[in-house]
Amino acid sequence: MRTAFIRTLTESAASDPRVTLLVGDLGFGVVTDFARRFPGQFFNAGVAEQNMTGVAAGMALAGKIVFTYSIANFPTLRCLEQIRNDVCYHHANVVIVAVGGGFSYGAVGATHHATEDLAILRSLPEMTVIAPGDPSETAAATRAAAAGMGPVYLRLGRAGEPAVHRGPISLSVGKALMVRQGNDLTLVSTGGMLQTAVQTAEALGARGLSVRVLSMHTLKPLDTEAIYSAAKETRRVVTLEEHSILGGLGGAVAEVLCEAGIPNVRFLRLGLPSRFNKVVGGQEYLRKIYHLDVGSITARLTEFCRADASAPLRKAA
């Protein structure tokens, strides 16, 4: 995702001199080419994220479209007041890019784990929240943000995330992407869990379940119509996120379903518990610890559907 982001941002900067990148004294292996090609559109604010955000807001109000870039919590939680008061209150064209959503920086510890960010940024007025599921979604989301759409939070993985979409996509901010059709259950994924969602759907397919997969790349504004359709047509809705189950994708979908009043719908949130991780390990290891790997999710959803006698479930081979 990180590579798709900087490549697309570089293309946007080449065609629009308003596009500007601010970094917090990191990421030079990624942003070096951008800085070399566009020295007047690149600034290193140093390890001073609050200042970086304030400068970004000022530049945006002067006509720029500004991207701030740092690791996970640093461009978000560390400077939340500046985001709220300087960026959101003035509806400034500032795109806050957090690289390393969820456990991407697993072994570095809780300071680098972005596991509450979606809930917090989603609550801010004027803020658009986007968490792409793969490099194709990342490129499309970056192009949309670079056109200028007010405050945006763009949550990325770290590096090496696989391409889930096998062909061209048409991504619209606020509209979920149907990755896989299904009639028995809808698995709604956001961010880097998209491949896990697709692999889980395939595993459940072998057990007789037809699983719909939605990539909910935009958490705010949320695609309520896609959620309504999923609830009415599949009657089982499950959210999947590498984020606390409080206030993120699961919370957002729960809000919609509770107010919709659609009868006979079963709902389940899969995510992280609301506590700090104290286990040392890489991203995949931590996903297994918290039961967010394909095997654990498949087992959980098998039981979830088995509780409903109408589920066309076969025994696994």
pLDDT in tens, 8-41: 999 999 999 999 999 999 888 899 999 999 999 9
Q: Can you tell me the distance from the alpha carbon of 35 to that of 41, in angstroms, rounded to the nearest whole number?
A: 8
**Rounded to an integer, what distance in angstroms lies between the CA atom of residue 131 and that of residue 129?**
7
* Total domain count, the chain: 2
Q: Which amino acid is at 149?
A: M
Directed axis angle between helix 294-306 and helix 194-205, to 10°?
50
> In this structure, what CATH number is given to the domain that contains residue 100?
3.40.50.970
How far apart are the C-alpha atoms of 278 and 264, rounded to whole Å?
Answer: 39
Cβ–Cβ under 8 Å, residues 102 and 73: no
For residues 33 and 148, state if they share a domain.
yes
Which residue, of 156, 189, 220, is where some domain finishes? 156
Is 201 inside any structural domain? yes
CATH of the domain at 213: 3.40.50.920
Q: Does 16 reside within a domain?
A: yes
CA pair distance 2, 192, nearest whole angstrom:
12
Query: Are 124 and 266 within one domain?
Result: no
Q: Is residue 66 part of a domain?
A: yes
Beta-bridge mates of residue 220: 129
> Would you say residue 313 has pLDDT above 80?
no
Cα–Cα nearest to 158, from 132, 197, 179, 140: 132
* Token pair for 153: 């939070």
pLDDT level of residue 316 (50, 70, 90 thresholds):
very low
Q: Is 66 within 8 Å of 20 (Cβ atoms)?
A: yes
Q: What's the Cα-to-Cα distance from 267 to each of 214, 250, 257, 263, rounded to whole Å?
A: 15, 9, 9, 12
**Average of per-residue pLDDT across 227-234:** 97
Q: What is the pLDDT of residue 275?
A: 95
Whole domain around residue 23: which residue ranges? 2-156
Q: Cβ of 309: how many Cβ atoms within 10 Å?
A: 6
* pLDDT on residue 259: 95
Confidence of residue 307 (pLDDT cuts 50, 70, 90): confident
Element (H, E) at 293: none
Residues 22 and 67 in one domain: yes
> Would you say residue 176 has pLDDT above 80?
yes
User: In this predicted model, what pLDDT tens digit does every residue of 198-213 receive, in sequence order?
Assistant: 999 999 999 999 999 9
- Chain centroid to Cα 181, Å, comes to 21
Together in a domain, 242 and 116: no
**Same domain membership, residue 152 and residue 14:** yes
Last residue of a domain, which of 126, 156, 186?
A: 156
Q: Are residues 146 and 190 in the same domain?
A: no
pLDDT for residue 4 is more than 70: yes
Shared-domain flag, residues 184 and 235: yes
Evaluate whether residue 274 is within a structural domain: yes
Least confident of 17-26, 159-168, 242-251: 159-168
Q: Are 127 and 185 found together in one domain?
A: no
Please report the sign of the dihedral spanned by the C-alpha atoms of residue 48, residue 53, residue 59, residue 61. Answer: negative
Half-sphere exposure of 39 (CA within 13 A, CB side): 1
Average pLDDT over residues 172-195: 97
Average pLDDT, the chain: 95
Res 92 pLDDT > 80: yes
In a domain, 79, yes or no: yes
Res. 308 pLDDT band, cuts 50 70 90? confident
Residue 168 placed within a domain: no
Do residues 199 and 59 both lie within one domain? no
Residue 317 belongs to some domain of the structure: no
Q: At which residue do the structure tokens 């590579």 appear? A: 3
Mean of pLDDT values over 34-59: 97
DSSP 8-state class, residue 311: -
Q: What is the pLDDT of residue 219?
A: 98
One domain, residues 218 and 291: yes
Indicate the pairing of strand 94-99 with strand 65-71: parallel
Residue 247, domain member (yes or no): yes
Q: Enter the tokens of residue 135.
A: 């490099």
- Sort strands 152-156 and 128-130 into parallel, antiparallel or unpaired: parallel
Average pLDDT of the segment spanning 148-169: 92
Q: In what order do the strands lie in the sheet with 128-130?
A: 42-44, 19-23, 65-71, 94-99, 152-156, 128-130, 218-220
Residues 76 and 209 in one domain: no
The DSSP result for 36-59, as a single string, is HH-GGGEEE--S-HHHHHHHHHHH
Burial of 302 (0-12, 13-18, 19+ CB in 10 A): middle
**Both 16 and 148 in a single domain?**
yes
Helices (H), the chain: 2-15, 28-37, 49-61, 80-82, 117-122, 135-146, 194-205, 224-234, 249-260, 283-289, 294-306
Is residue 154 classed exposed, middle or buried when 0-12, 13-18 and 19+ CB atoms within 10 A define those classes? buried
